[in-house]
Amino acid sequence: MITVKDLDKIYENGSIAVQALKNVNLEINKGEFVAITGASGSGKSTFMNIMGCLDRATAGLYILDNETIQDLSDNELAEIRNRKIGFVFQSFNLLPRTSALKNVELPMMYAGIGGKERRERALDALKRVGLEDRVDHKPNELSGGQKQRVAVARALVNNPAIILADEPTGNLDSKSTQEVMGLFKKLNDEGVTIIIVTHEQEIAEETKRIIGFRDGEIILDETMKQGLKEN
Give the binding site for ligand ADP (CB under 6 A).
Answer: 11, 13, 18, 20, 38, 40-46
Q: How many CB atoms lie within 10 A of CB 93?
A: 12
Q: How far is the CB of 128 from ligand ADP (least distance, A)?
A: 28
Q: What is the C-alpha separation between 53 and 73, in angstroms, rounded?
A: 11
Q: How far is the CB of 194 from ligand ADP (least distance, A)?
A: 18
Q: How far is the CB of 122 from ligand ADP (least distance, A)?
A: 29
Q: How far is the CB of 90 from ligand ADP (least distance, A)?
A: 8
Nearer to ligand ADP, 43 or 144 (CB): 43
Q: How far is the CB of 215 from ligand ADP (least distance, A)?
A: 8
Q: How many CB atoms lie within 10 A of CB 6?
A: 12
CA distances from 152 to 71, 72, 73, 85, 206 (A): 30, 27, 28, 12, 17
Nearer to ligand ADP, 34 or 129 (CB): 34
Nearer to ligand ADP, 24 or 156 (CB): 24
Nearer to ligand ADP, 36 or 180 (CB): 36
Q: Compute the Cα dihedral for 83, 89, 92, 94 and give only its sign.
A: negative
Contact 187, 197 (CB under 8 A): no
How far is it between the farthest Cα atoms of the chain? 55
Contact 145, 154 (CB under 8 A): no
Q: What is the C-alpha separation between 162 and 1, in angstroms, rounded?
A: 8
Nearer to ligand ADP, 34 or 101 (CB): 34
